[in-house]
Amino acid sequence: MIKINYKILIVLAIVFWTVACTPLKKEVKQIKPNIILILADDAGYADFGFMGSDEIPTPHLDNLAKDGIIFTDAHVSATVCSPSRAGLLTGRYQQQFGHECNIPPHNLGMDITEVTIGDVMKSAGYKTAVFGKWHLGESAPFHPNKRGFDEFWGFLEGHRSYFYGSDNDIPGNPHEIQHNGKHVKFDGYLTDELGNRTIEFITKNRKNPFFIFLSFNAVHTPMQARKDVLDKFKDHPRKELAAMTWSMDEAVGKVVARLKAEGLYKNTLIFFLSDNGGAANNQSSCLPLKGWKGNKFEGGHRVPYLVVWPEKLEGGKRYDELTSALDIFATSMAAAGITETSGKPLDGVNLIPHLTGDNSSAPHNQLFWRKEGMAATRENNWKLIRLDNYGYRLYNLEDDLGETLDHSIENKEQFNKMVQSLEHWESNLTEPWWREAKDWNQVTFEIHKALMENREPNYKSPEEMKSYLNQ
């Protein structure tokens, strides 16, 4: 007969009961989310599959969109690269601190009294990194490592070759590739390398919450792509753009695959957008919008925009309300549980309650834009554009997304209201710390005037202007 040791049974029963009644820790839900901000450069509104394009394949971004929310009325705060990035990384209208135009070379940069999203995330215990284009200042005080980012692998200026070995890669050139201030070489194609560096950072920091700014220079000029990808699109009418977009899409796909392999994907908040509208010189398309990079029509600042956070946000949806890239700062803070920036008031809002349905109102009723003599404002579906020394146009985007019909006379009350709103917003701005080149201002004036008159501009660049004026 087997003797039963009741004391041992009682002890075992207590142990099993304790284990059974202790709730399992849900590690993913208890830790802060990782956050990745992916920025394309000069990408057109209509040049991604998830935005409706059937011309340029973007399979990885399209798959990502199935897990996320596609924004159809999302805007950046500027229509050119540097001021758009200044607004994005501070969550504030950049005109408030004089960052209205693209930064000229040398010793100028984004106001060092402004708190960046890198500063805030780093203070909250995040590992922070920038991979790619910076374009917010070349000298030491403006360097990414001084603006809240632990790691920087990329270039400081606005554009460069996609391959190593050009004049860009002379040590000390602001277009050079550097790693935390030191010149580095790279093999292959830069878009691929930016993806690879991001993957290395994710692997290294998989046990820490991280904030990554993956800042592609694709699809900004020069129009350069890998030969094998160009061959894939050899019969495409926009083969260079298609090839460059394909490589960027591949890089995003590899980053997402690594997140999944590390078990991090569900609790990673991902933003994907372009820094401004497609450019006139890179084969991009902003249709059905009017305008492109550099002007205040919708094609200049309404951008492809995708937000993904599988842990918190239901995917496979579209969001049609008015939103801004300024919201990325506030949304990231809220996701990370940060309540204080230690900086100046933000102009963006936390999108999460709007996307979960807890807040049914639009994130914004009004947005503003200005670069020297060109300004605009949106109020719900109304759009006002002002060109100094020429005049105004008022459009109703609900009925006229292409901005062709002027309502400024027949809707005088709405017109006056929006003029006053724009002027009130401008009254709180700082004078630009630097100005755009005179020839580009002349070109931009002609483009705005032509688009307001519903005609093709006589020229779209200083070179074209010189040729036109010399006819």
Active site positions, annotated: 81, 135
Closest CA to 292 of 60, 57, 50, 46: 46
- Separation CA 430–CA 276 (nearest Å): 22
* Phi, psi for residue 391 in degrees, rounded to 5: 150, -160
- Separation CA 223–CA 76 (nearest Å): 23
Closest CA to 85 of 349, 276, 250: 276
Reading the block at residue 405, the tokens are: 């019909």
Distances (CA, A) of 146 to 97, 129, 153: 18, 12, 14
- Separation CA 359–CA 326 (nearest Å): 18
- Separation CA 131–CA 255 (nearest Å): 12
Residue whose structure tokens are 């000069």? 42
Give the HSE-up count for residue 302: Cα atoms under 13 Å, Cβ half-sphere.
27
Whether 139 and 232 have beta carbons less than 8 Å apart is answered as no
Closest CA to 78 of 108, 61, 98: 98
Q: Is 22 helix (H, G, I), strand (E, B) or coil?
A: coil
Closest CA to 383 of 348, 420, 408, 409: 408
End-to-end Cα spacing for the chain: 114
Whether 445 and 387 have beta carbons less than 8 Å apart is answered as yes
- CB environment 430-451: b (16+ within 10 A), e (fewer): eebeeebeeebbebbbbbbbbb
Distances (CA, A) of 386 to 80, 113, 368, 451: 17, 31, 11, 12
Reading the block at residue 448, the tokens are: 């705005």
DSSP 285: -
Reading the block at residue 119, the tokens are: 């500063």
Long-range contacts (CB closer than 8 Å, 24 or more residues apart) made by 279-284: 279/42, 279/220, 279/221, 280/460, 280/461, 281/221, 281/460, 281/461, 282/42, 282/219, 282/220, 282/221, 282/223, 282/241, 283/223, 283/238, 283/240, 283/241, 284/42, 284/43, 284/44, 284/47, 284/219, 284/241
